[in-house]
A = this chain, B = another copy of it.
Amino acid sequence: MEHQLLIYNTLNRRKERFEPLHAPHVGMYVCGPTVYGDPHLGHARPAITFDLVFRYLQHLGYKVRYVRNITDVGHLEHDADEGEDKIAKKARLEQLEPMEVAQYYTNRYHTAMEALNVLPPSIEPHASGHIIEQEQLVQEILNNGYAYVSEGSVYFDVAKYNQDHHYGKLSGRNLEDVLNTTRELDGQEEKRNPADFALWKKAQPEHIMRWPSPWSDGFPGWHCECTAMGRKYLGSHFDIHGGGMDLVFPHHECEIAQSVASQGDDMVRYWMHNNMITINGQKMGKSLGNFITLNQFFEGSHEKLTQAYSPMTIRFFILQAHYRSTVDFSNEALQAAEKGLTRLMDAIKGLEKIAPAAASSVDVKNLRTKCYEAMNDDLNTPIVIAHLFDGAKMINNILAGNDTISATDLEELKETFKLFCFDILGLKKGENGSNAEREAAFGKVVDMLLEERAKAKANKDWATSDKIRNELAALGFEVKDGKEGSSWKLNK
């Protein structure tokens, strides 16, 4: 695990050498979807960003336990207020059991993530499945004096906490800023301070999702789940906590406060945040008519889209920007990404046609080194992709006879593309990547068998060579014997 991986730590506002607490193990927690609607671009970006981290750390040799939660309860509509559980609300509107809604959208999310070639996390815990752990967290914070019970709900005492610690250290705010930007909302009278946030909410009579607790029948505050589940599955100190930049405040700030108030220190060593997505320069929102779901992208079934964009185009487009830069989606930009991806994939196909020469006029090692350098520089995928395009040019120049490559270098070039394009960036060839790979492997086995048949023929072992030929024919293989060996086709 010799590497120089730097990652940007939001907490310290600088790139830092990545050094896990318990190498070779790495613990990573990423905020997952709230499952009350179809997955959209805002879900795709963090999923792809941390999929990249997951893949790269594993490539470096770490054993990564990657936890990404499903928020199926407790996400308040307005953070700093008397919220209503978003999911329960949707369920009431639809006259459905909230868990049925949550299950439906969880399944839709999984399907979309699979299409984007996002690997499943090691553990995908549900907030509703960890009520006990969240209640334990709330009790610890109460015991330590950083929370108070009010009308059956429990609130985090931000002012008290801020006397002993700095509330706002992740987002770079101070309590005064927070107070000035907190909206006055209904039910604030339960709180000592408008900045206080709910750790446990007493359920109103109409509230469907509720559990018993020492304080009331109710549900946990949104911020509790990540602290409780992160600790349960990764331990009280772990390496990486990720999410979208919009979660820095208040969500992750509150997580740090909960962690410090319960166990005395923060659980997280590196806080990582991906930047936001805009569509034609605008924030995505249902009221703006530019709220496009991933399925609508894949099908081209939204009026703002001039065509369908494959999941790999979306993935490639997102990776063409550094994760800490904003990304603006437009038809033009996506079409450019689609073309670029095709160019890259065509070059990779070309790799198979290259005949090695005695010596190389190209520098493959340098290409590989540069790709690593870019990845190690806070996962700079746009630079990696730029280098891969240089590699594509290299391939095309060799094919055009303008450059030469040795057999060893050709192997390394193939490996470099496989590693960075497929294993690390997570791109897939064709629609059915895995199928194609299987077919390729099986095809080689047919070649091997035909080789055995050629050997049998050379040894005048006609029994064997006929048997192989007849059995292949019975299976639907059409074998053609030519001067330079046999070729075949499977008619199925």
On A, residues with C-beta under 8 Å from B are 65, 97, 99-100, 103-104, 107, 110, 120-126, 128-132, 136, 211-212, 233, 434-435, 437-439, 441-446, 448-449, 452, 455, 464, 468, 471-472, 475-477, 490, 492
Contact = CB atoms under 8 A, between A and B. Distances in A.
Contacts of A471: 444, 448
A448 B451 CA distance: 12
Copies in the complex: 2
B123 A99 contact: yes
Contact of A97 (B107, B123, B124, B464): B123
Contact of A211 (B104, B132, B434, B455): B132
Nearest to A124: B103
A490 B452 CA distance: 21
B122 A100 contact: yes
A448 B434 contact: no
A216 to B, nearest CB: 14
A475 B123 contact: no
A492 B125 contact: no
A125 B100 CA distance: 10
29 contacts: A99-B123, A99-B125, A99-B233, A100-B122, A100-B123, A100-B233, A103-B121, A104-B122, A107-B120, A129-B129, A132-B212, A136-B212, A435-B435, A438-B439, A438-B490, A438-B492, A439-B442, A441-B490, A441-B492, A442-B442, A442-B443, A442-B445, A445-B445, A445-B449, A448-B468, A449-B449, A449-B452, A452-B452, A452-B468
A126 B123 contact: no
Given A445-B477, A452-B464, 12 more contacts: A107-B120, A128-B129, A131-B132, A132-B211, A136-B212, A434-B492, A437-B492, A441-B476, A441-B490, A442-B446, A448-B472, A449-B452
